[in-house]
Structure 1
Amino acid sequence: MDLSPQVQAGLKLLTDLNNSFKTINKAFNTINNPREEPISGCDHYALSTVLVLACKHNYDDQQLHQLLEMYIPNADVVDKIVSKYFIFKNVYTQRNAQFGIALPHVTDANWTLRSDLSSSSYSVSPGNLTFSIELESFNYKTNLKEPAVRFTCTPEELQLLINKLKDIELNCDKHSKVALK
Structure 2
Amino acid sequence: MEIKEHFKGLLKMLPWDRFSTDIVKSLSENCCDRLTGKIENYDFRDTENLKGYEIELLYAALSYVFAEFARHERSSQDFIQFLTQECEIDEGKSKVATECYERYFSQIRLALLNIGNHLPHVTDVKWKIDYIIKSNTYEHSSGPVFRIGLKTEQYNEETEHSGRKVLHFTCTSQELQDLVYKLKDVVRHCQKLSTEH
The TM-score, its normalising length taken from structure 1, stands at 0.50
- How far apart in 2 are the matches of 1:31 and 1:14? 24
Q: Tell me if the contact between 1:32 and 1:92 (Cα under 8 Å) persists in the aligned partners.
A: yes
- How far apart in 1 are the matches of 2:97 and 2:88? 11
1:160-171 to 2 correspondences below 5 Å: 161-162=177-178
User: Which string of whole-angstrom CA distances, capped at 9 and with x for unpartnered residues, describes residues 95-123 of structure 1?
Assistant: 122459x9898xxxxxxxxxxxxxxxxxx
Q: Tell me if the contact between 1:24 and 1:47 (Cα under 8 Å) persists in the aligned partners.
A: yes
- How far apart in 1 are the matches of 2:15 and 2:66? 14
Query: 1:94 is paired with a residue of what secondary structure?
Result: helix
User: Which string of whole-angstrom CA distances, capped at 9 and with x for unpartnered residues, describes residues 24-66 of structure 1?
Assistant: 1221122121761269611111110111111110011111111
Number of matched pairs: 114
The TM-score, its normalising length taken from structure 2, stands at 0.47
- How far apart in 1 are the matches of 2:15 and 2:110? 26
| 66-75 vs 76-85, greater mean Cα deviation | 66-75
Partner of 1:154: none
Shift in alpha-carbon separation, 1:99–1:67, aligned structure 2, 3 A? farther
Partner of 1:47: 62
User: Which string of whole-angstrom CA distances, capped at 9 and with x for unpartnered residues, describes residues 113-157 of structure 1?
Assistant: xxxxxxxxxxxxxxxxxxxxxxxxxxxxxxxxxxxxxxxxxxxxx
1:9 matched to 2:24? The reply is no
Q: Tell me if the contact between 1:14 and 1:72 (Cα under 8 Å) persists in the aligned partners.
A: no
Q: Which structure 1 residue ranges, 5 or more long, are not aligned? A: 106-157, 166-181
User: Which string of whole-angstrom CA distances, capped at 9 and with x for unpartnered residues, describes residues 40-95 of structure 1?
Assistant: 61111111011111111001111111122211421111111111111221111111
Q: Which structure 2 residue ranges, 5 or more long, are not aligned? A: 45-55, 122-173, 182-197
Which one-letter code corresponds to 1:44 in the other structure?
Answer: Y
1:56 matched to 2:71? The reply is yes
Q: Tell me if the contact between 1:29 and 1:37 (Cα under 8 Å) persists in the aligned partners.
A: no
- How far apart in 1 are the matches of 2:35 and 2:63? 7
Q: Tell me if the contact between 1:27 and 1:48 (Cα under 8 Å) persists in the aligned partners.
A: yes
Q: Which runs of 4+ in 1 moved over 3 A?
A: 102-105, 162-165
Partner of 2:113: 97
- How far apart in 1 are the matches of 2:15 and 2:113? 27
